Structure 1
Amino acid sequence: MRALRILLIVVVILGGIFVAADRIAVNMAESEAADKIKSSQGLSSTPEISIKGFPFLTQVVGKELDEVDVSLAGITASAGGRSVNVTEVRAELRSVKIDSSFSSAVADRADGSARISYADLTKAAPQGATVSYAGPERAAKGQVKVTGPLTDLLEGAGIKVPGAFKGLLKGRTVTAYSTVGLRGGSTVQLKAESLPRLPLPGFDEKLRQIVDYDLKIAGMPSSIKLDKVEATDAGLRFSGRGTNVSLAG
């Protein structure tokens, strides 16, 4: 019995050492991967990497990781030459196969998501416009609220208003509810449901061209195509899925 007890103690100690070594190895791998992603993508902050599954060392020997979760900050969206921050980009990678030189990998499948706050949506909006939450009913239809002084919107777009009509527009505010859609897997489109008619010939279409605009989201692996957008009280959330997602080292 004493011998058995000693054997069990040895097994427990060795198991603890293996677990500790395994956790040290995975922490080092996560740190190294985060530094490489930051450097290769030119990010302003270090991403968070979480390698799931146990034991890690046997996954490395088999050159396949069960699950890798990546969270990125410092990603941008652009609209009309203006760049704004994307609050967060996440990618959940599954069955990640590592090549023989450990310099690249391919994930069998990946789920990606991105969030943009209303404050950042406003920064990307036409000059003079503010983007905000449209309330639960309109948010359920994928709509956001866009408002702004009419003269600010027109002048911000470089559109001159004839002096004889300036008095008619003074103090007028445009309020529109824009439906958010996706195009090409990475471009966000905002299109106003309806707009007020203006007392200026030909200016209705100009206002439409100002209020409707696109945002191009960068930073998501090219194999992941965004296909869903949700309007929440904190901003817009986008999500998508990809297969055979290539990851350079």
Structure 2
Amino acid sequence: MKRFLIAVVVLIGLLVAADYGAAALAESAVSRQMRDQLNLSDDPSVRINGFPFLTQAISGDYRSIEVTADRIQIGELDEVQVRAQLRGVEAPLGELLGSGSRTIRVRDAEGTLRIGPDDIVRYLPGVTKVRVENIDENALKAAVEDGGEPSLTAIDPDYAARLVGTVDVPLLGKREVSVIAVLRLAGRQIQVVPRDARIDDGSGKRRPLPAAAQSALQKMFALRIDPGTLPFDVVPTRLRARDGTLEITGTTSNLVFGAGETTTGR
């Protein structure tokens, strides 16, 4: 009995190892396909979700595949992080692991692009050391209580951010400026619309400014970025601040990868 149990455990271990090994090979094949389709210099990270893998591989149907690529060039942006959640993927195992052409079909996908401070700062002349921060209702109320326009409390914090950067202020020298801004999407264009600007008074406190100075600093932080056609032909649906970046999320459907081209049925 003991030997039988040991044999069962060993067999299960071998099956699990074989499952993960096959998944790793398939992930590598998908990664190479994504590299070619997106014209990347390196293979992106690919993860095939769901266990066991082999049952999905035999049918050629995969519930979910995650693709992540860092420091991608999109339009005038140089260091974009791209994440894609591919759902309802059809990819015959023979094609994935074979040496011939591969065709991958995707029912629908959600794509996420993250634009970091290094790209953002290039669109803000006169501003350095930029960072992006999330903002909440309490912060908006505090800004009003500290001299800001009452209309700040009407801003939806889910579609707003605080941009902080260093500016050479006349008579004061280099100071950290904090701007509360509304985030908007106009088609594929990203828009950051400043609503309130504050300056570090030298003690670490952010002070409101007179109207003229307020207007000048807000203009410095106004931002418009048009990245052009996004990977997988994703249509942007949401722009928000996340993890120190501006994050664009969108969806697409009926993708076909293969034969050197990507098509979408949308």
Is the TM value for this pair above 0.5?
yes
Quick one: structure 1 residues 74 and 89, their matched pair in 2 at CA, closer, same or farther if it must change by over 3 Å? same
Q: Distance in 1 between matches of 2:221 and 2:5?
A: 74
Quick one: structure 1 residues 83 and 240, their matched pair in 2 at CA, closer, same or farther if it must change by over 3 Å? closer
Q: Distance in 1 between matches of 2:181 and 2:192?
A: 6
The structure with more radius of gyration: 1
Out of 116, 120, 142, the position equivalent to 2:160 is: 142
Give 1:8 deviation, angstroms: 5.1
Q: Which amino acid aligns with 1:180?
A: L
Q: Tell me, which stretches of 5 or more residues in structure 1 are unaligned?
A: 151-168, 199-203
The equivalent of 1:36 in structure 2 is 33
Q: Distance in 2 between matches of 1:135 and 1:101?
A: 44
Quick one: structure 1 residues 42 and 108, their matched pair in 2 at CA, closer, same or farther if it must change by over 3 Å? closer
Counterpart check, 1:238 vs 2:243:
no
Contact 1:134-1:143 within 8 A present in 2 as well? yes
Out of 76, 85, 91, the position equivalent to 2:79 is: 85
Out of 3, 15, 18, the position equivalent to 1:18 is: 15
Give 1:52 deviation, angstroms: 1.4
TM-score by length of 2: 0.63
Give 1:215 deviation, angstroms: 3.1
Q: Distance in 2 between matches of 1:44 and 1:146?
A: 32
The equivalent of 1:97 in structure 2 is 90
Quick one: structure 1 residues 19 and 193, their matched pair in 2 at CA, closer, same or farther if it must change by over 3 Å? same
Q: Superposition RMSD on alpha carbons, in Å?
A: 3.8
TM-score by length of 1: 0.67
Q: Which amino acid aligns with 1:71?
A: T
Q: Which amino acid aligns with 2:117?
A: Y
Give 1:6 deviation, angstroms: 5.6
Q: Which amino acid aligns with 2:86?
A: L
Give 1:91 deviation, angstroms: 0.9
The equivalent of 1:59 in structure 2 is 56
Quick one: structure 1 residues 119 and 19, their matched pair in 2 at CA, closer, same or farther if it must change by over 3 Å? same
Contact 2:127-2:220 within 8 A present in 1 as well? no
Q: Which amino acid aligns with 1:227?
A: T
Counterpart check, 1:188 vs 2:190:
yes
Counterpart check, 1:70 vs 2:88:
no
Q: Deviations over 1:89-134 (max 9, x none)?
A: 11112221226855222222322222222232112x0433455436
Give 1:238 deviation, angstroms: 2.1
| Identity between Structure 1 and Structure 2 (%) | 24
Q: Distance in 2 between matches of 1:143 and 1:6?
A: 63
Q: Secondary structure at the match of 1:34?
A: helix
The equivalent of 1:127 in structure 2 is 125
* 1:142-221 matched pairs, under 5 angstroms: 142-145=160-163, 177-184=180-187, 186-193=188-195, 211-216=222-227, 220-221=231-232
Q: Secondary structure at the match of 1:239?
A: strand
Counterpart check, 1:247 vs 2:257:
yes
Contact 1:68-1:93 within 8 A present in 2 as well? yes
Contact 2:162-2:181 within 8 A present in 1 as well? yes
Q: Tell me, which stretches of 5 or more residues in structure 2 are unaligned?
A: 97-101, 141-155, 198-210, 260-266
Contact 1:110-1:243 within 8 A present in 2 as well? yes
Give 1:68 deviation, angstroms: 0.7
Matched residue pairs, number? 215
Q: Which amino acid aligns with 2:115?
A: I
Q: Which amino acid aligns with 2:232?
A: P
